[in-house]
Amino acid sequence: MQKTDTHDLAVRVWFRFLRLESRLQIAVSDRLREIGLSVPQCDVLTTLTEAEGISQQDLAKRLYVTKGNISGLLDRLEDAGLVERRSIEADRRQYAIYLTPQGREAAEKAIAVQHALIAETLGKLSGDELAAFEGLLISTRDLVRGYQEARRGRAALPAKEPAQRAGEGALRSSRAPT
């Protein structure tokens, strides 16, 4: 394959990947809306199933959102009775976030919705196809990380081990780090 053919293929794959990601986001959003949640609400609730009591600041970092975004989102979730904020003894300016029983139930429903969607889509692929797809995703992620680090003027950081990647263990978030 010549260099221009490879470039053309890369461009085609790039746009197919972007369209696929968009379609998956729409599918997740539609399915979550059926149970009364938005994607960001799902992200918070499902993250709290693994990190209940996390500080508001750490939750924002974990979800790659601003403190302002997480504050407004938590306000709405608290108003809906799904989470509660508790002052942190060591620093009363910070809050630890906890699921209420209704929040835990909503998180479990959201996880079930995601599992069903995965079964209906990626679950149709064979084990070999999934392993190959995962390998390509990891390679692509590493290339993008290297690009981002180079743009920031730093050397690329080594990839983290799978157990170190937030959100890549048990299914918890529709926005797991890439």
pLDDT in tens, 97-154: 999 999 999 999 999 999 999 999 999 999 999 999 999 999 999 999 999 999 988 6
Q: ∠ CA(165), CA(139), CA(46), 5° rounding? A: 30
pLDDT in tens, 79-99: 999 999 999 888 878 899 999
pLDDT at 163 over 60: no
Region 5-24: what's the mean pLDDT?
95
Q: Could you tell me what percent of the chain has a pLDDT over 70? A: 85
- The ranges assigned to domains in the chain are 3-164
CA distance 40 to 98: 16
Q: Which is higher by pLDDT, 47 or 88?
A: 47
Region 53-62: what's the mean pLDDT?
94
User: Do 141 and 135 meet the contact criterion of CB atoms below 8 Å apart?
Assistant: no
What's the confidence (pLDDT) of residue 3?
73
Q: Could you tell me what percent of the chain has a pLDDT over 90? A: 76
Output the average pLDDT for the chain: 88
Please report how the helices 3-33 and 39-51 are oriented relative to each other, as an axis angle in degrees rounded to 10: 80
Confidence of residue 168 (pLDDT cuts 50, 70, 90): very low
pLDDT at 22 over 70: yes
Q: 96 pairs with which residues across the strands?
A: 55, 86
Query: What is residue 164's three-state secondary structure?
Result: helix
Chosen CATH of 3-164 out of 3.90.1010.10, 1.10.10.10, 3.40.50.300, 3.40.50.720: 1.10.10.10
Confidence of residue 162 (pLDDT cuts 50, 70, 90): very low
